[in-house]
Amino acid sequence: MENITFLHPDFFWLFALFPVLIALYYFTRKKQAATLKISPLNGFSPQGSLLGKLKSLLLVLRLLALSFIIIGLARPQMVDVTSRTTSTQGVDIVIAVDVSGSMLAKDLKPNRLEALKRVASDFVNERPTDRIGLVVYAAESYTKTPVTSDKGIILNAIRDIRYDNVLQDGTAIGMGLATAVNRLKDSQAKSKVIILMTDGENNSGFLEPRTAAEIAKEYDIKVYTIGIGTNGMAEMPYAYAPNGGFIYRMMEVKIDERLMKDIASITGGQYYRATSNTKLNEIYDEINKLEKTDVEELRYFNYDEKYRSFILIAGAVLLLEFLLRRTLFRGFI
């Protein structure tokens, strides 16, 4: 019954008349049967008639039939709602992720890279109508996933991001930004956005980051920059252990915040500093709110009328009540 709705629920007020009908029956019940006056029978033990006791069943049947009629008048319907959501003015977004070795630092839990992947996945899930792409960079950069509306592909690509030495270690912010710009420069979307994340300073690549920002501005691409890392010292990997793992030690966190602010300012974006998991979540939530998408939702309603069943049941109950009144309960003393 959870999908049942009533087109005319005001008819349920008719149930308020039931107590009146019951009271009316109670006060007039003796006038509804024939009476016979005879001498007193005080000397005989009274024996009630079973049919007399069951005659109130007729009232129950009448009220039951009226109940089904009222429900039928209220017009019960089974409603099946389907919806189709389309983006009328979508946003194309490229997430550019620094995958250098320092992203394994443990100031965010379990480390910067894993914390980023979790938050980025949540962000993708909250942008169902937008197209999203993924760029990764260290000393070099490449497109891991072009801009697409297939969220499954993006989520899998984010899940697969890891530090694996495929890219030479280093931080080429300019190269990462330029690759992201290249993914968006031909986009026809209402808004084009890059979310650029790093935990260090630009120390690799042949393209200066501010030059890449100017190119982004020429293509009307807005860049939100995020510096990842706590203030002060953090536990970072600095060498390989004999078992193939990493050896960690406390090292100073160095992020070129001036550069990140300049990139954001040039393109009309904003700079954020993520010093913890909670702060990183808040940053993505804020970007999510800033970059709105106009969405058109078309809803289709399929109504399956159910009142006929109640009217048929009411008719059957009334017929049963009529037959009992004319046969079994017909005039008896």
Q: Tell me the CB-side half-sphere exposure of residue 281, using CA atoms within 13 A.
A: 8
Q: Each residue of 224-256: pLDDT tens digit?
A: 999 999 988 999 988 888 887 888 999 999 999
180: nearest Cα among 247, 132, 116: 132
Where residue 104 falls among pLDDT bands split at 50, 70, 90?
very high
User: How many angstroms separate the CA atoms of 82 and 298, rounded?
Assistant: 8
Q: Where does the chain hold its CATH 3.40.50.410 domain(s)?
A: 85-295
**Residues 23-34, mean pLDDT to the nearest whole number:** 69
Please state which of the four CATH numbers 3.30.420.40, 3.30.70.1350, 3.40.50.410, 3.30.930.10 is assigned to the domain occupying 85-295.
Answer: 3.40.50.410
Bond into 110 cis (ω within 30): yes
Across-strand partners of 226? 197, 272
Q: Which amino acid is at 274?
A: A
The single-letter DSSP state of residue 232 is S
Q: Each residue of 37-46: pLDDT tens digit?
A: 555 655 555 5
User: Edge to edge, what strands does the sheet with 131-137 contain?
Assistant: 141-148, 131-137, 91-98, 191-198, 221-228, 271-274
Q: Each residue of 165-201: pLDDT tens digit?
A: 766 788 999 999 999 999 999 988 888 999 999 998 9
Share of the chain above pLDDT 90, in %: 47
Q: Is the pLDDT of residue 310 over 80?
A: yes
User: How many angstroms separate the CA atoms of 15 and 74, rounded?
Assistant: 12
User: Edge to edge, what strands does the sheet with 76-89 contain?
Assistant: 4-6, 76-89, 294-305
Q: Each residue of 128-170: pLDDT tens digit?
A: 888 999 999 999 999 999 999 899 999 999 999 988 776 678 8
The single-letter DSSP state of residue 185 is T
Sign of torsion, CA 243 238 283 290?
A: negative
Q: Tell me the CB-side half-sphere exposure of residue 161, using CA atoms within 13 A.
A: 33
User: How many angstroms separate the CA atoms of 323 and 315, rounded?
Assistant: 12
Across-strand partners of 232? none
Strands (DSSP E) found in 181-293: 191-198, 221-228, 233-240, 246-252, 271-274
User: How many angstroms separate the CA atoms of 319 and 328, rounded?
Assistant: 14
